[in-house]
């Protein structure tokens, strides 16, 4: 691997939009060292073998189940070991599920969709923070225009609790909304050190995200994008440098525009951001992780 390779640590690149984004990333002229989390590492290894990426790239696949916060911690430790003395240039947080808010089998107070889509990946930033700061890394949260469909952010705690019964699009919208709250918090926390970007891949009817959720994505929408187009939108967040002067405008749309903050104004409530931006210690106490 060339010494000039960029290092990316990523979640959610094992299938669908995420795997397409990985293929596009590793097809670029610039070499990469990709450190990827996967629930099924063997299946991911087979997919990588079939894709036959350029030998200038290095890909490490590590076990990661974001529904399990202890697994998230083990992944962070293993990822740091793989990165070694190199920088982390990018932390790319793409994983998402749409499972209904049934009782969490691990006893967490949040449902699994809330844990996977927000809590575990927010925790991962905590776990990698020292390295991210030393690297002046860019942190990308793959978000969604669905954040604008949340009518009342005040119901998030009830809607996302374990056993709440929330399902379908209301659940997905709420998990992506609290994820965006966390992205804003990290932007505030890491100002002047790390760039923090939220990005939407757009409306992609071909994605498997809605499988089993009852959510139907309209294929005939004029705004609909293909999986390759959605992946391109996601990857744009790694390289854009034309940041708006207003630091709250961190959201890059699938049209390549920085959304006016009036569009996602509800997510700019700092008290709400603080409420959903749990400390590392709070998360570990919830998960029964001793330090």
The residues annotated as belonging to the active site are 172, 176
3-state secondary structure the chain: CCCCCEEEEEECCCCHHHHHHHHHHHHCCCCEEEEEEECCHHHHHHHHHHHCCCCCCEEEEEECCCCCHHHHHHHHHHHHHHHCCCCCCEEEECCCCCCCCCCCCCCCCECHHHHHHHHHHHHHHHHHHHHHHHHCCEEEEECCHHHHHCCCHHHHHHHCECCCCCCHHHHHHHHHHHHHHHHHHHHHHCCCCCEEEEECCCECCCCCCCCCCCCCCCCCCCCECCHHHHHHHHHHHHHCCCCCCCCCCCEECCCCCECCCCCCHHHHCHHHHHHCCCCHHHHHHHHCCCC
Q: How far apart are CA 109 and CA 107, in angstroms?
A: 6
Contacts 24+ apart (CB under 8 A), 281-288: 283/69, 283/119, 283/122, 283/123, 283/126, 284/69, 284/73, 286/69, 286/108, 286/109, 287/69, 287/70, 287/106, 287/108, 288/70
């Amino acid at each position: 691997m060339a010494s000039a390779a960029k290092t990316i640590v990523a979640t959610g690149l094992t299938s669908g939009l995420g795997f397409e984004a990985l293929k596009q990333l590793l097809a670029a002229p610039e070499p990469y060292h990709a450190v990827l989390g996967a629930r099924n590492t063997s299946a991911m290894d087979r997919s990588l073998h079939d894709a036959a990426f350029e030998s200038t790239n290095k890909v490490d696949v590590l076990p990661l189940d974001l529904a399990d916060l202890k697994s998230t911690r083990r992944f962070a430790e293993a990822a740091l070991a793989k990165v070694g003395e190199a920088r982390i240039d990018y932390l790319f947080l793409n994983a998402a599920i749409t499972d209904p808010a049934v009782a969490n089998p691990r006893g967490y107070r949040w449902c699994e969709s809330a844990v996977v889509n927000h809590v575990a990946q927010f925790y991962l930033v905590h776990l990698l923070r020292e390295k991210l700061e030393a690297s002046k890394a860019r942190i990308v949260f793959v978000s969604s225009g669905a954040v604008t469909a949340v009518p009342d952010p005040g119901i998030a705690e009830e809607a996302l609790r374990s056993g709440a019964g929330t399902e379908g699009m209301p659940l997905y919208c709420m998990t992506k909304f609290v994820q965006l709250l966390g992205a804003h918090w990290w932007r505030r926390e890491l100002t002047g050190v790390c760039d923090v970007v939220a990005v939407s891949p757009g409306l992609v009817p071909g994605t498997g995200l809605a499988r089993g959720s009852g959510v139907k994505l309209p294929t005939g929408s004029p705004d609909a994008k293909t999986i390759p187009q959605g992946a391109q939108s996601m990857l744009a967040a790694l390289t854009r440098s034309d940041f708006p002067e207003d630091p709250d405008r961190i959201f890059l749309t699938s049209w390549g525009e920085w959304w006016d903050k009036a569009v996602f104004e509800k997510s700019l409530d700092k008290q709400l951001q603080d409420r959903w931006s749990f400390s590392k210690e709070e998360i570990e106490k919830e998960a029964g992780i001793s330090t």
